[in-house]
Amino acid sequence: MARIFRNLRELYRYRVLIQNLVARELKARYRGSVLGFLWSFFNPLLLMIVYTAVFGLIITPRDPDFESKPLVYALYLFCGILPWHWFASSTLESANVLMINGNLIKKILFPAEVLAVVTVTSNMIHFFFGLPIVLIFIPILGKTLTPYVLLLPVVVFVQYIFSLGFSLMISSLTVHFRDIKDILANWLTFWFFATPIVYPMTFSSIQKSAALRTILNLNPMTHIVQGYQYCLFYGSLFHWKRLGITLLASLALFIVGYLIFDRLRDSFPEEV
Amino acid sequence: MHAIEVDHVFRIYQKYSARHRFQTFKSALVKGDLFRALRPDELVTALDDVTLSVEKGQTFGVIGENGSGKSTLLKLIAGIAKPTKGEVRTQGKISALIELGAGFHPEITGRENIFINGIMLGLTKKEISAKFDDIVAFAELEEFIDAPVKTYSSGMYMRLGFAIAINVNPEILLIDEVLAVGDAAFVPRCLDRIDDFRRRKKTILFVSHDLTTVKKICDRVAWLKSGRVQMIGEPKRIVDAYLQDVAERQERSFERRQQEPAAAPDGQEERRENRWGKREIEITRVSLKNARGQERRVFTPEDSLVVEMDVVAHTPADDFVFGIGLFNSQGICCYGTNTQLEDYEAVSIQGEGKVVCRIETLSLVNGTYYLDVAIHKRDGYPYDYHRNLYSLLVSSTHKDVGIGRLAHGWSFSPGIGIKPPQG
C-alpha cells in the first residue's frame, strides 16, 4: 500500500507529461482526417442514430418513461452509450498500450502507468466532447435540465477510478497473455448488454425477475451508467448508496490492478 | 567524487520458454496455473557481478562484443531497468541517448514532438521553449519543424532525436552506439557536442563498437565480456587487449572451421562456397606466421607475414600454380600474386610438400583482411581454391587510411612551423 502511494506521488510529478501525451493522443487521432475533431461528435451521434433506428423505430419502446417517442428513447440511449464508449475504448486501447509504446518503455525512463492514465484520460476527454450534444438535446426534446446535472463530476470520478483500475490490470496482463485482447472484445459486447444502456432497469421483465436484478446490480457499470441517466435523463438524484459502494469497489479494483501492474512492471522492458 | 557507482551488480533476465510464448490467458486459467505461467522458466545472466565507478567529469568507454551486457549496463545506469542484485548509484541528472527519437509520434509535428520528447527526458516546458531554436538549428530542420514527423527522413529523425537529447543538459550523458547511424556530416558535429560536454566537465558514459573513437575520446575504458568486467583501465591498453581477444577467438573459430571439412563427407565438402576444386592437389593446412615463425592472427603493419601451405599432390602433376590473395573487409584485393605471374615454371609435384610465401613487410592499414590461397592449372582450372577462409587483423596505433600503408616520410621547409609527433 505504501508503495502505491509512493508511486502515485511519482505519477503526480509526471502530470505535465501526461497532459502532453493526452494532447498528443487527441491531436494525433484525427490528424489527417477531413472532419478532424468533429469526429468526436459524429461518432457517438452516428451510433445513436443506429440504435434509435433499431430500438426506437423497428422495436418500438413500450416503456412509459419514453412516452413512446423514439427520440426520447434515443436520448436515454445516448446518456448510457457515451460513458460506456469511454469505458469500452479505454479498456480495449489499454490492452495494446504497453505494446504500442514498447519503444518508450525500453528506451526512456518513465513510469509505465503513465500510459494507462493517458489512455483513460484521453478517452474521458472524448466523452466530454459528446456531452454538449446531450445537454442541447435535453431541452429540445421537452425534458428539463435539473440542478442534478451538477452531480455529474461525482459519477465521472467513480467511472475514472473504475476504468483506470481495469486498464492497469488489463494492460499489464496483456503483456504476458496476448489473447486477452480478443477475449476482451467479446466480453465487452456481453458486458454492454448486461448494463442497462439500451433498456432501463424499470422494465417489467427485469423488475419481475429477482435473479436478473441481482446480476445487473452486481455489475459496477450498472450503477455508473445509471448515475449518468439520473443526472441527465431523469433529472433526479442518483442512488448515492449504490454509487458509494461502486466507488469502494472501484477503489478496490484500482488497488488490485495497481498491485498486478507493479508486480509485472519489471518484466515490461523485456516482454513488450 | 564518483558520478556513477555500480556496485556488485547482477542483472538476470527472465527468459520464457517456447511453451510459454504460446501460453494464452485462457489455457493458463483452464490449467489453473496462472501464477506459475507468470514465472520465468529460464534465467539469463546479462550482468554478472559488475563493479565499476566513473568519476565526475570523466569520459568512460564501455566496449565488448554484442551481447556482452553493455546496453544492459547502460539501461541500469539510466534507471530504465533495475539490477537483480547489487546497487547502482548516480549523482546528477542523466540523459540517455539509447535510441534517438524513441517516443516520437509520427502523426504530430516536429515542434510538438520536441516538447513531448523533451518532457519525457526531464525538461520543463519553459526550458524547452528557451532551447527550442537551438534544437531546431542543430537538427537543421528549420523548414520542416511544422511538418508531421512521419514525413521526415531517417536522418532528420535521428538529428532531431540527438538535438533534443543533447540539449537536456545533463550532468551525466549516456551514449549507446547512436552515432553509428549518423551520416558523414552529422557525426562530427555530434562528436563536437560531446567534446563540448567533456570540456564542461560533465560525465559521459560511451558505449561503442567504434574503437578508434573510444580511444580518442575516453579517459578510461571498461571491457565487458559475457556480462563480466574483463578489464578496466587506460583506453589504449584495454582496446588492444580486446582486439587481441577478438583475434584469438577468430583464430579458434578458424581452427574449428579448418577441422570441419575433414569430418564432412566428400560430397558435402564440394558445396562449401568458400572452397572448391577437385583437390588432385590439396592444401591441407595453412598457417600465418610472423618473422620469428610464431603463428599469429594479429599483425602490425611493420610485421612480416609468412603464409605456409602444407600441400599434398594425390596424383603427380606438372601443371600447377600456387597463388595467394589478400582482401580487405570491403572485398577489395589489396595484393595478389601467384607463381605463374612471377614466371616460376612448374616441373613436377608428387606427395606431400610445403609452400611458403613470405611478405617482408605487411604495410597495410588497420583492419581485418582475408586471405585466399589456391593451387590451380595455368589455364585457371582449380585444384584447390580457398576463398576468404583465413583472416588476419592488422592493428596498430597508426591512424592513416587507404588500402596499403605506403612507406613514406614528411619534410618541411624551415618557414613552416610544425612539430613532429611526440614519442
* Contact between residue A239 and residue A196 where contact means Cβ atoms under 8 Å apart: no
Query: Beta strand B298-299 with B305-317: parallel, antiparallel or unpaired?
Result: unpaired
Choose among A36, A192, A12: nearest CA to A113. Answer: A12
**Which cell is B376 given?**
590451380
Average pLDDT of every residue of chain B: 83
Longest dimension (CA), chain A: 58
Using pLDDT thresholds of 50, 70 and 90, give the confidence band for residue B270: very low
Question: What does the pLDDT look like over B62-118, one tens digit per residue?
Answer: 998 888 888 888 888 888 888 888 999 988 888 877 777 777 888 888 898 898 888
Q: Which residues of A touch B26 (CB under 8 A)?
A: 179, 183
The pLDDT value recorded for residue A120 is 96
Angle between helices A70-100 and A220-228 (to 10 degrees): 130
Choose among B392, B365, B397: nearest CA to B298. Answer: B392
The pLDDT value recorded for residue B39 is 61
The pLDDT value recorded for residue A125 is 92
**Which cell is A40 given?**
468526436
Q: Which of A17, A107, A187 to mutate to test the interface with B (most CBs of B within 10 A)?
A: A107
Pick from A20, A109, A177: which is nearest to B23 by CB?
Answer: A177
Whole-number Å distance between alpha carbons of B361 and A102: 53
Partner-chain contact A107 B107, CB within 8 Å: no
Instruction: Give bridge partners of residue B109 from the DSSP assignment.
Output: B148
Count of residues in chain B: 423
Q: Tell which CATH architecture fits domain B2-242.
A: 3-Layer(aba) Sandwich (3.40)
Question: Scanning every residue of chain B, which has its alpha carbon at the shortest distance from the alpha carbon of A33?
Answer: B107
Q: Tell which CATH architecture fits domain B249-394.
A: Distorted Sandwich (2.70)
Sorted by where each begins, the domain ranges of chain A are: 2-33+78-271
Partner-chain contact A269 B75, CB within 8 Å: yes
**Which cell is A52 given?**
434509435
Count of residues in chain A: 272
Whole-number Å distance between alpha carbons of B126 and B114: 12
**Which of the two residues, B33 and B61, has the higher pLDDT score?**
B61
The pLDDT value recorded for residue B329 is 81
Q: Which of A3, A20, A98, A183 to mutate to test the interface with B (most CBs of B within 10 A)?
A: A20
Sorted by where each begins, the domain ranges of chain B are: 2-242, 249-394
* Contact between residue A144 and residue A235 where contact means Cβ atoms under 8 Å apart: yes
B18 CB neighbour count, 10 Å cutoff? 8
Residue B202 contacts A where some CB pair is shorter than 8 Å: no
B113 burial via Cβ count (<10 Å: 0-12, 13-18, 19+)? buried
**Which cell is A212 given?**
436478473
Q: Which residues of B touch A104 (CB under 8 A)?
A: 102-103, 120
Asked if residue A207 has pLDDT above 60, the reply is yes
**Which of the two residues, B256 and A111, has the higher pLDDT score?**
A111
The pLDDT value recorded for residue B397 is 73
**Which of the two residues, B78 and A2, has the higher pLDDT score?**
B78
Asked if residue B356 has pLDDT above 60, the reply is yes
Highest mean pLDDT pick, B186-190, B209-213, B342-346: B342-346
Average pLDDT score over residue span A111-134? 90
Average pLDDT of every residue of chain A: 87
Question: What does the pLDDT look like over B300-328, one tens digit per residue?
Answer: 888 899 999 999 999 999 999 999 999 98
**Which cell is B123 given?**
525538461
Query: Beta strand B203-207 with B59-63: parallel, antiparallel or unpaired?
Result: parallel
Beta strands in B31-147 (DSSP E): 42-55, 59-63, 85-90, 94-97
Partner-chain contact B107 A32, CB within 8 Å: yes
Highest mean pLDDT pick, A185-199, B58-72, B110-124, B289-303: A185-199
Non-local (6+) Cβ contacts of A27 within 8 A are B107, B108, B112
Average pLDDT score over residue span B382-395? 86
3-class secondary structure, A218: helix
Could you report the predicted ipTM of this complex, rounded to two decimals?
Answer: 0.72
Highest mean pLDDT pick, B78-82, B147-151, B153-157, B186-190: B147-151
* Contact between residue A149 and residue A240 where contact means Cβ atoms under 8 Å apart: no
Using pLDDT thresholds of 50, 70 and 90, give the confidence band for residue A67: low
Partner-chain contact A270 B119, CB within 8 Å: no
Whole-number Å distance between alpha carbons of A68 and A234: 16
